[in-house]
A and B are shown apart, each in its own frame.
Chain A
Amino acid sequence: MTGVPLTHILFVSTALFFIGMYGLFTRRNMITMLMSIELMLNSVNINFVAFNKYLFPDKLDGIFFTIFIITIAAAEAAVAIAIIINLYRSHQSIDVEDATEMKF
């Protein structure tokens, strides 16, 4: 296989992972935080697919793992958005700074 080497793909996925982490820590809107987490999960997907294709082409473990991650990320987003809607009903806001009743 010629073309893009594995390290380039790993660089992209690792960068994506830490961009997601940065977004999670700096954003204050809960939906955006959820999107940041999806970014992190997608970087894992890229990792799995890349490793599977470049290093272990005779196996399917990585591809299967990716499918399960996508499914579970959808389930997680569904529950998280339900919780956020419920939080919006009581707080009238989806800013994490407003959900500070419990501290220390």
Chain B
Amino acid sequence: MTVAVYLPLLLGLPLALAAPWIAARGAPGPAAWALSLASAIAAACSTWSLALLALTMLDDVPPLAALDNHPALELPEPVPGPVAFMAALVLIGGAARLGIDAHRRVTTHRRLRAIGDARQQAEAGMVVADWETPMAVAIPGTARRRGHLLVTTGILRLLDAGERRVVLAHEHAHLVHRHHRLTATAAAAAALNPLLIPVRDAVAYLVERWADEDAAAEVGDRGVAARAVARAALAASGSPASAALGIDGGVVVRRVQALTQPAPTPHCRRLAIPVLLSVILLGVAAATTEAFVHLAQAWL
């Protein structure tokens, strides 16, 4: 086994470094897709590398170990035992984080989906909760039902009619473009490979920007959209319930600033970075898989 097997473990790093730069300019939609897919490929390839490294421990399994010590057979010692063991540990850690993240995502959405009666969700596409904390949430649909919005009276009473329309259009954009899939993919990738955490954050930011741009286009006024985001964030920051939110406020500031500027141009050339890295990763993964197969054949 060559050094190539370690390469996918490191290639998440350039993606993570490029992600904030890619997210900062251009149309958010293509960037969200490119980064989400690239993070999935990077996580799949690094996980595959870890699995191959861990599998080299198989030569320590008793029947194979007996073969290994056979003096007549000259077997290569591909990966030092401790490295293979570490790879197995990292692999288990990633799987555990992935399980926790997926469970939390599914249960939270299920509990919020249970709020309000199904007819109201389907017909108005919206459930109102009489709660002063200003919140508006997009609840993704399932195979059988469409998604809907969950909004509190707190956010409705805070904003004027135009701003309320921005909120509804923003959350509606999340549902229409199935943003939860992109964020869930990037979050799963980051759970498997923590190097990809900046990519996950970039995707989370980009889908918000995407929904902001959709809302601004629907309302036809970027100023109203900027005000809606800014006022909702300012009000939310004062409430105790939101103090524990796990999202950093700088994101909201960047969203508002982007809305005070003209609508972004496509800027698709920067997406060459995630595409190129994905191609390299897949190539390396294919090469190491081939090397591993050769190795396995030598053992058996």
A and B from one assembly? no
